[in-house]
Amino acid sequence: MQRIKQTAIRIYGWLELRLQLEAPVKDAALHSVPRNTASWWYVFGSAAFTLLFLQIFTGILLALVYVPAAGEAWNSLNILNHQIPLGWFLRAMHGWGSNFMVAIVLIHMAQVFLFGAYKFPRELTWIAGVFLLLMTLGMAFTGQVLRFDQDAYWGLGIGASILSRVPFIGGGLVHLLLGGPIIAGATLSRFFALHVFVIPGTMLLFVFLHVWMVLKLGINEWPMPGRLVRRTTYIEEYHRQAHEDGIPFVPGAFWKDLTFSGAVLAAVAVCAFVFGPFGPGGQPDPAIIQTVPKPDFFFLWIYTILSYLPPSMETPFILIAPLLGIAFLLALPFWAAEGEKSWHRRPVALLAVSTIAVCWGVLTHLGTTTPWSPHMSAWSSDPIPPHYLQIATPLVRQGAVVFQAKQCRNCHSIGGAGGERGPALDEVATRMTIDQMRFKVVTGGGNMPAYGKNLSPAEVEVLVSFLETLHPANEPPAYDASRRTIETSQADDGATTRTNRNATP
């Protein structure tokens, strides 16, 4: 045992004489950081760093099996899922790792922004971070393309059509992105190279720079209201704080980083185990039209925005908004390099982050439910809840058949199933009279197309007869008051006529 220990020390000494890493590593590990930064709020950067290496590790293992060829990619993913022991788990770790990484990077960015860490002298650290965010999103998108299924195919189509709208050079950009005029084998090779070599390589370089600057400039101190950043005095004040009220990074703050990173890895593993890998969905064949492609969750907000934007706003928004957003993030540390760091005195910053988070959440939720999109198979696959037809007459039943066969269900849900493009019709009879429904069906209005030319008079009649039954048991259908008056007066007229007739000799 003693001998092994001595040999190890000798080897270490041999290596250290040549590499001389001990001093810089010790410096990095033991450098003093302000005591108040040993906080659970400061763990997201290191977690993102850990996840990057998880992605590299699992990515290398996936690359051993994955075939980046248009005809083979989908099959090789299914081989991973179904034939290689725990291949599905590996794919799930990589997929969930990517989701967690996007989420942690965004949280890290929000935290750094709210803590004012982008201010002097850490402007370049922030800028490197902005590029790292863009590269993380680039990895997410290219990764989605490598999962070569219908979502990937159509996602790529949308990416290409966004690029094609760039004035003058749009066509050339699409050609560059796809490796030709169409999505084909060259496209996949290109995205494989981007996902496996180009972006990760650049990312590692930026991560090195980012971490280097964090070590050299010191971790951002806990912001205190009223303690303003001034270029002339900040560095001196920071060093005084780090030394007078500081602790060595290891183990003082490091154990929290380590614990959180471990917890994140465990969370990735649990998600991978329980929820499994992402796809692959259907085969990436444009001839298959029974598909509802959707981007992965981090791009759902763009999907929602593009769905809701009026067509005239699409091109300006697609081309200008991202550039403005990136320009704002890059300019931020120069525009506000000095001043207040604490979020207690930066209400605009706090409001901006909250607004973006709420908007992002709402847009993502809408992206998952896609209320703007008809459910194209609802007419043939969503049954009418049986209790809606329990006491229905043959006429009403036939109305339900027309409701399904004419695909009303694709836009109007009943019993929680069906499209959400138009209003749910479970209680439509309480808000519209039968005449109003007839008029609406025939002439349309608002977003509703006119069906007068596509439905026969009988179809309209049976359809509204069915719709008239859609009301709660304890609430009668809407009734036109003037009808009642007319019916009463007609009944009176009839009685008068009869009386007169009887009176006539």
Return the number of the residue (40 or 273) whose C-beta is nearest other proteins: 273
Do 425 and 404 form a contact (C-beta atoms < 8 A)?
no
CB of 397 to other proteins, least distance (A): 4
Is residue 401 a contact point for other proteins (CB under 8 A)? yes
Measure Cα distances from 422 to 419, 467, 485 in Å.
7, 14, 33
Cβ closer to other proteins: 246 or 374? Answer: 374
In the complex, least distance from residue 451 CB atom to other proteins, rounded to whole angstroms = 9
Cα distances from 15 to residues 11, 26, 71, 125, 212, in angstroms, run 6, 16, 48, 32, 23
233 binds other proteins (CB under 8 A): no
Interhelix angle 457-468/394-405, rounded to 10 degrees, is: 110
State the sign of the Cα–Cα–Cα–Cα dihedral 441, 443, 447, 449: positive
Site membership for other proteins, residue 435 (CB under 8 A):
no
Q: By CB under 8 A, is residue 420 in contact with other proteins? A: no
- Piece in contact with other proteins (CB under 8 A), picked from 45-53, 59-67, 182-190, 377-385: 377-385
Contact track, other proteins, 474-493, x by CB under 8 A: --------------------
In whole angstroms, what is the distance from residue 105 CA to residue 44 CA?
7
The yes or no reply on residue 273 touching other proteins (CB under 8 A) is yes
Task: Considering only the stretches 231-239, 293-301, 341-349, 384-392, report the one whose residues sit in contact with other proteins under the rule CB under 8 A.
Answer: 384-392
**Residue 62, interface with other proteins (CB under 8 A)?**
no
Does 259 engage in binding with other proteins (CB under 8 A)? no
Please choose, from the candidates 401, 7, 42, 91, the residue with its C-alpha nearest in 3D space to the C-alpha of residue 253.
42
The yes or no reply on residue 437 touching other proteins (CB under 8 A) is no
Among positions 86-115, residues that touch other proteins (CB under 8 A) are: 86, 88-89, 92
Instruction: Give the C-alpha separation, 243 to 193, whole Å.
Output: 46
Rounded distance between C-alpha atoms, residue 59 and residue 199, angstroms:
13
In the bound state with other proteins, the residue whose beta carbon lies nearer, of 163 and 378, is: 378
Work out the angle between the directed axes of helices 347-369 and 300-308 (0-180°, nearest 10).
80
Q: 88: Cβ–Cβ under 8 A, 6 or more apart, which residues?
A: 80, 81, 82, 276, 277
Q: Which of 456, 474, 500, 504 binds other proteins (CB under 8 A)?
A: 456
| Contact call for residue 389 and other proteins (CB under 8 A) | yes
Query: Least distance to other proteins from the beta carbon of 75, Å?
Result: 9
Burial track 151-165 (b if 16+ CB lie within 10 A, e otherwise): bbbbbbeebbebbee
- Applying CB under 8 A, among 61, 69, 209, 455 the residue interacting with other proteins is 455
The CA distance from 179 to 182, in Å, is: 8
The yes or no reply on residue 393 touching other proteins (CB under 8 A) is yes
Q: How far apart are CA 104 and CA 438, in angstroms?
A: 53
**Using rule CB under 8 A, residue 263 touches other proteins:** no
369 binds other proteins (CB under 8 A): no
381 binds other proteins (CB under 8 A): yes
Residue 442 has φ and ψ, to the nearest 5°, of -75, -45
User: Does residue 416 touch other proteins according to CB under 8 A?
Assistant: no
Pair of tokens at residue 313: 């706003």
Write each residue from 275 to 304 as x if it is in contact with other proteins (CB under 8 A), else as -, in one continuous string. xxx--xxxx-x--x-x--------------
Is there binding between residue 458 and other proteins (CB under 8 A)?
Answer: yes
Based on the shown chain and the rule CB under 8 A, indicate whether residue 409 belongs to the binding site for other proteins: yes
143 binds other proteins (CB under 8 A): no
76 binds other proteins (CB under 8 A): no
Stretch that binds other proteins, among 300-308, 352-360, 446-454, 472-480 (CB under 8 A): 446-454
Site for other proteins contains 67 (CB under 8 A): no
Which burial class, exposed, middle or buried, applies to 189 when counting CB atoms under 10 A from its CB (0-12, 13-18, 19+)?
middle
Q: Which residues pair with 32 in a beta bridge?
A: 248
> Is the separation of the CB atoms in 102 and 140 below 8 Å?
yes
Among 151, 257, 459, 468, binds other proteins (CB under 8 A): 459
Cα(158)–Cα(135) distance, integer angstroms: 19
When binding is defined by CB under 8 A, the residue of 166, 193, 392, 448 that contacts other proteins is: 392
Footprint of other proteins (CB under 8 A): 78, 81-82, 85-86, 88-89, 92, 269, 272-277, 280-283, 285, 288, 290, 377-384, 386, 389, 392-395, 397-402, 404-406, 409, 452-459, 461-462
